[in-house]
Amino acid sequence: MIGKRFNIDLYETSRLGRVLRITLGVVCLIATGWFISSIRGTEASTASSWIATIFLLAVSFWLIASGLGYTDRYIIISEQEITLKKNIITSQVIYNAANLKRVELMPLSVIFITETGRLVLKLGTYYPEHSASIMEAVEEFCSRNKIEVMLTETGIKTD
């Protein structure tokens, strides 16, 4: 069974938005190439112009990567596993039903606890209905696979 995918970014992406980001990234890349060729060896070749060029190059790569989906943050919940891409730097983490020891649900975060450690997924307040649907799907996954779920109102542990 294909899992249900939830976007955990601060914005929703559409196909048109992705195409526009790729297009703008390519335009910035072309502008960077033109700028480099036009200032090289001239009086305009100062440190500040090269810093601006490097910044424009970085922005163009970022826009292209974002349009291609490399910067997306998501959670995919399927029958037997949860796939989580929490941030752009780290790779995705896959939790099988057998690996998860416990899941703690808090108002704005979900904590996945395994034998080797824990991972906190902070959901935020931008899309509260989106956060609720993610928590419901995680809770359904846990009940289907007999994983302990701990509901915590504040996140403060009491004895």
- Highest-scoring range by mean pLDDT, 11-15, 128-132, 143-147: 143-147
Query: How far is it, in rounded angstroms, from Cα 54 to Cα 13?
Result: 27
Average confidence (pLDDT) over 41-63 = 92
Query: How far is it, in rounded angstroms, from Cα 72 to Cα 78?
Result: 19
Compute the residue count for the chain: 159
Q: Pairing state of beta strands 100-106 and 148-151? A: parallel
For the domain made up of 75-151, give the CATH fold: PH-domain like (2.30.29)
As to burial, measured by CB atoms within 10 angstroms (0-12 exposed, 13-18 middle, 19+ buried), residue 146 is exposed
Average confidence (pLDDT) over 66-84 = 89
- Mapping DSSP to helix (H, G, I), strand (E, B) and coil, where does residue 121 land? strand
Query: What are the structural domain ranges in the chain?
Result: 4-68, 75-151
pTM for the model: 0.74
